[in-house]
Amino acid sequence: MTAAPPKWVKILMLAAAVYHSRCRQRSIQAELGIVKERMDKRKRNATCIMINLACMEEEKKARRVVPRCLGKWRGSTVSGYLRGGAAGRDEITYRENFRMSIGAFDRLVQLMEGTSFRAQLPSEPITVVRGKARSRRGKNPASLDLANLSLDHPTTRYKVAACLYTMGQGGSMKSNADACGIGKPTLQKWLTAFAKVASKDLRPLFMPGKPWAAEELKAVRGNFASRRGVGGVAMACDGSHVPFRPRCKKEHAKEYRNYKGWTSILAVAFVDSYYRFFDIDVGFPGKAGDNTVLKYNWLMAAIKEDPDKWLGKHGFILGDSGASDADGFFLNPYHAPTAPERCWFNFCHSSTRFFVEETFGRWKNKWRMLLNPLNVDHKLASQLIYASAILHNYCTMYGRENDFTHFEQERRGSCVCYAKFLEKYAAHMCPTCKRRGVQHCVHQASYRNGNAQTANARRAPSAIREELCTELWQRVKGNDPMGNAHLGDADVEVAN
């Protein structure tokens, strides 16, 4: 017989059995806890789903409807402006509310019909063939067209009117949306689509950003020279601050505060002598300067590569003291001059460069959102500012007397200079003769022709400035080698 184990061995075996039993019990309890937690989580999820479903059912049963106007968008204020009164549409109402003539508005609607901005409503009528409705387009089923008709979507004409009205009035988005008989999100959606289409489809027509044809460049330079005889000017450049309310944190919002003390978006534009934007750079915060924007501008890089292609032979750009390019092709005024001839040059320089200031004035006066900003984000605000510059060119070239002859030629892809426009709106009198009240300006011929350029190499603007300063001062004193008439004692007093 084997001997019985000692007592301490029995105690040790019993302790080990108890330990393993407790470990097994703990593992079972842990597994039960995990299962219970999963069950509770599923129960909570099921409860949330039930609550959401109940809320959705309640929303479906009691949807909030805002009765803005009788007849939806067709009974809105903007729709009334669009239709006109008993006598039909009138020119004054369109210019006050849509900022352009009736003919220009109709033409713009035709342009938008061929883009992604067109309304969902089918433009072709629905016909009934053998008892079935069919669409003449053949792209969508006729049943879908009939469904669109029953929903009464706003037409393309109305969408364009709503966008132009909002851009022309500015201010609160809710006020503009109420005037249009739609909601704020809908109006913002339309404005976004309108700005994108303007930048994509209208820009190649009205602000192409391509070198001018020879005749157009000659007309532009001649119109610049008609002011004070400063020849060779192809463009004028300046920046303008557009008010903007930033939607960001305080540390980022301070970047929009300009040197004038209010928040804005900076727009730097290149303008010709017919009050048209050649190009505009929008998007930098108000704290930035003109030189900061010009540093990254595509047009500046293109002009540096081939100045004669963009500015003509010996051409240059007029800029104030805030915009320069290290004596490349920017002609800037003298800084704090004291000599009479330099003061007179600065006066003539400012008078010639004033085309850009007048363009900014016309631009902002037409599109009041540039003075009374819309409460939108930075991206949409920049897009709308850019779109308004394109619309400014459209109204300048085609909105005066509804002449669309050159526009039709441009649509066909031909490189046509706007000869009729350039000839009709060319300046025929300098400010001095206009102030005197004479019927014929004796300075226009020499101002537009100028002295013949004999140098082959492009000269620095600082050297051109010295020559122009001497020439302009001799003209004031009556010793002009071109044989001009004396400009008068009033101009000498201005110079002194």
pLDDT in tens, 200-218: 999 999 999 999 999 999 9
What is the rounded CA–CA span in Å between residue 203 and residue 383?
12
In the chain, % of residues over pLDDT 70: 77
Is the pLDDT score of 135 beyond 50?
no
- The band of 99, judged by pLDDT with boundaries at 50, 70 and 90, is very high
Neighbours of 57 (CB within 10 A): 10
Pick from 82-96, 232-246, 328-342: least confident: 82-96
Closest CA to 453 of 270, 221, 143: 221
Mean of pLDDT values over 186-200: 95
In the chain, % of residues over pLDDT 90: 45
User: How far is residue 232 from each of residues 219, 250, 321, 419, 468, measured CA to CA in Å?
Assistant: 11, 46, 19, 20, 11
Q: Which pLDDT score, from 0 to 100, does residue 247 have?
A: 87
End-to-end CA distance of the chain: 139
DSSP-derived 3-state class of residue 327: coil
Mean of pLDDT values over 286-310: 92
DSSP-derived 3-state class of residue 266: strand
More confident residue, 86 or 427: 427
Q: Which pLDDT score, from 0 to 100, does residue 237 have?
A: 94
- The band of 456, judged by pLDDT with boundaries at 50, 70 and 90, is low
User: What pairing do the DSSP bridges indicate for beta strands 233-243 and 264-271?
Assistant: antiparallel
| Prediction pTM value | 0.76
Residue position matching structure tokens 């930075």: 378
- The band of 124, judged by pLDDT with boundaries at 50, 70 and 90, is very low
Q: Which pLDDT score, from 0 to 100, does residue 389 have?
A: 97
DSSP-derived 3-state class of residue 197: helix
Q: Which pLDDT score, from 0 to 100, does residue 242 have?
A: 96
pLDDT in tens, 236-279: 999 999 999 998 888 889 999 999 999 999 999 999 999 999 99
More confident residue, 447 or 127: 447
Is the pLDDT score of 372 beyond 80?
yes
Pick from 97-101, 151-155, 265-269: least confident: 151-155
Mean of pLDDT values over 374-401: 90
Is the pLDDT score of 338 beyond 70?
yes
Q: What is the DSSP string of 343-405?
A: HHHHHHHHHHHHHHHHHHHHHHHH-GGGTS--S--HHHHHHHHHHHHHHHHHHHHHSSS---H
